[in-house]
């Protein structure tokens, strides 16, 4: 018996066969939109991701605010550590200091926070920037509440204290604004 001859092999040109190419891309899972609405051109970009997605889009003035905060925290910390009497006198307008130790401890805590602020100034990670902004907002809020409670107890109202309270409210508002701006999802381009 004669063996049946197989049909001649036809070379398939998948580069020119549009239907075949689309089927292959569908099987690989590329070319369509993913959950975030991004269209990946290759499997590699789909697996590795798009580096633009991870870049922090900084709100206008964020780095200036971080620098001002770091300088502010450092300056007050050094003043509280080196000159506790003058710092207390500037805030509470001539009231006598009973002990320098709490003011110096306050200066040490502020110096620690200022080191965090200085390091956050040089980072590009969104989470670290947000945590430092939240730390600032919490610090200024607690300071506002403590000074307000002290005013209620002592009844001492001075221009320095009122200026301190107003500045703390302003600093809370700025820190919270930048906290939410850094946390926003970027708009699709």
pLDDT tens series, the chain, 189 aa: 567 777 666 665 555 566 666 677 666 666 666 655 565 566 555 555 555 555 557 889 999 999 999 999 999 999 999 988 888 777 776 667 788 898 899 999 999 999 999 999 998 888 999 999 999 999 999 999 998 998 888 887 778 788 889 999 999 999 999 999 998 876 665
Tell me the C-alpha to C-alpha distance, in Å, between residue 162 and each of 85, 92, 172: 19, 10, 15
Report helix angle 126-154 to 62-82, nearest 10: 50
Could you tell me which of 172, 142, 167, 152 has the C-alpha nearest to residue 91? 167
Collect all residues with Cβ–Cβ distance below 8 Å to 46 and sequence separation of at least 6.
29, 30, 34, 40
Max CA separation in the chain (angstroms):
120
Neighbour count for residue 113 (Cβ, 10 Å): 19
Query: The tokens 């605010």 sit on which residue?
Result: 65
| Domain residue ranges in the chain | 62-183
């Amino acid at each position: 018996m004669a063996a049946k001859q197989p049909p001649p092999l036809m070379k398939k040109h998948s580069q020119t066969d549009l239907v075949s190419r689309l089927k292959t891309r569908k099987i690989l899972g590329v070319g369509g939109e993913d959950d975030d609405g991004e269209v990946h051109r290759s499997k590699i970009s789909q697996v590795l991701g798009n580096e633009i997605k991870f870049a922090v889009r900084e709100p206008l003035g964020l780095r200036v605010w971080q620098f001002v905060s770091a300088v502010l925290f450092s300056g007050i910390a050094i003043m509280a550590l080196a000159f506790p009497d003058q710092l207390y006198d500037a805030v509470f307008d001539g009231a006598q200091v009973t002990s320098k130790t709490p003011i110096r401890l306050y200066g040490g805590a502020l110096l620690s926070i200022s080191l965090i602020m200085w390091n956050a100034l040089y980072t590009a990670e969104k989470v670290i920037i947000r945590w430092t902004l939240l730390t600032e907002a919490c610090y200024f809020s607690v300071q506002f509440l403590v000074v307000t409670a002290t005013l209620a107890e002592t009844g001492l109202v001075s221009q320095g204290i009122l200026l301190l309270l107003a500045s703390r409210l302003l600093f809370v508002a700025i820190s919270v604004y930048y906290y939410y701006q850094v946390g926003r999802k970027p708009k699709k381009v």
